[in-house]
Amino acid sequence: MSYAPKRHLNRRQLLTMGLAAAGGVVTLQPQQALSATSTDLTRWAFLSDTHVAADPKHRFRGFYTYQNLQKVVDQIGSRMPEGMVITGDLARSKGDPDAYENIKSLLAPISQERPVHLAIGNHDNREDFLRAFTGSPDTGTAIKDKYITTAMAGPIRMVLLDTLLYVNMFPGMLGKLQRIWLETYLRMSDNTPTILFFHHTPRADLLDMRRLFDIISPARKVKALVFGHSHKYEFSELDGIHLINLPATGYNFTGSQPVGWVEARMTAHAGEFILHAVGGNQRQHGTVRFLQWRT
């Protein structure tokens, strides 16, 4: 799902970021962030698990999810990135038309200026989601009951996949037809560095994770997977592909986890990911993770 900006805007002056550190994953404090200018830098906001309810005053686990997203949008809007991605579970529980209207309203300051790409999670109702954001329950893709979006983000290609299997149940799945589509798409596309986005945590609740890696491990253009679902901020790696587990924007499951969003600064060779915590455990707020893409 993506919003088209209402008017064409010139690309912002690229923020400075150095990408000369050694490979692997490095944790940097903000004052240590590399500062060499990179001409192919793109800067995006990554969110997951906003869990906005129909009632703006809804409170869960001590968090007001509507207000959390409002606060995050204000932060992002104060230093507008080139776009935003939310990796599913936009709504609470089983999804609700009024919840999606709330989300549209909250995201308006961003979506009126920049592209906003949305994926579907296990707490989203696909038909209500599509009606709210496209005006039709049709996914608009050749694959039944799966919504897929692709977009360019400067030097990066982004592919948003649909892992919703059952509403309000934890497991997710790409499914055979979507895997075939992905394999074909990757084979036919050029070598632009590619990041895949979806909702479910690969090693925990994505039932066809191994079949996914059979496709993407040999496709060297695939550099990272970005997902949510676990309400955990975590980085790992498998077959040289970075696994970026975004924190929840709505609420955490344990007090050790932050609530917030991630600022992604990416080039064709690497990326820096900065945590912006607005609640929960804010100890890691402002920390930067450096990832160098596999070659």
Angle between helices 176-188 and 209-216 (to 10 degrees): 10
State the pLDDT at residue 11: 30
Both structure tokens of 34: 């590399």
Superfamily grouping for domain 2-292: Metallo-dependent phosphatases (3.60.21.10)
What digits encode the pLDDT tens for the residues 186-197? 999 999 999 999
Using 70 as the pLDDT threshold, list the residues of the chain that sit under it. 1-38
Give φ, ψ of 48 to 5 degrees: -155, 155
State the pLDDT at residue 3: 54
Q: What DSSP letter does each residue of the chain carry, written as one string? A: -EEPPSS--PPPPPPP----S-SSEEEE-GGG------TT-EEEEEE----B-SSTT-EETTEEHHHHHHHHHHHHHHT--S-EEE-S--BSTT--HHHHHHHHHHHHHHHTTS-EEE---TTS-HHHHHHHHHSSS---SSSTT---EEEEETTEEEEE---B-STTSS-B---HHHHHHHHHHHHHS-S--EEEE-SS-TTTTBTTHHHHHHHHSS-TTEEEEEE-SS---EEEEETTEEEEEPPPSS--SSTTSEEEEEEEEE-SSEEEEEEEEEEE--TTTT-EEEEEPP-
Round to whole Å and give the CA distance between 205 and 217: 19
Both structure tokens of 123: 């707490």
Does pTM surpass 0.85?
yes
In 10 A of CB 94, how many CB atoms? 13
Do residues 20 and 36 touch, judged by C-beta distance below 8 A? yes
In 3D, which of 153, 208, 161, 162 has the Cα closest to residue 186? 161
Give φ, ψ of 199 to 5 degrees: -90, -50
**C-alpha torsion sign, points 247, 252, 253, 255:** positive
What digits encode the pLDDT tens for the residues 242-284? 999 999 999 999 999 999 999 999 999 999 999 999 999 999 9
Residue recorded with tokens 């066809």: 208
Give φ, ψ of 195 to 5 degrees: -120, 130
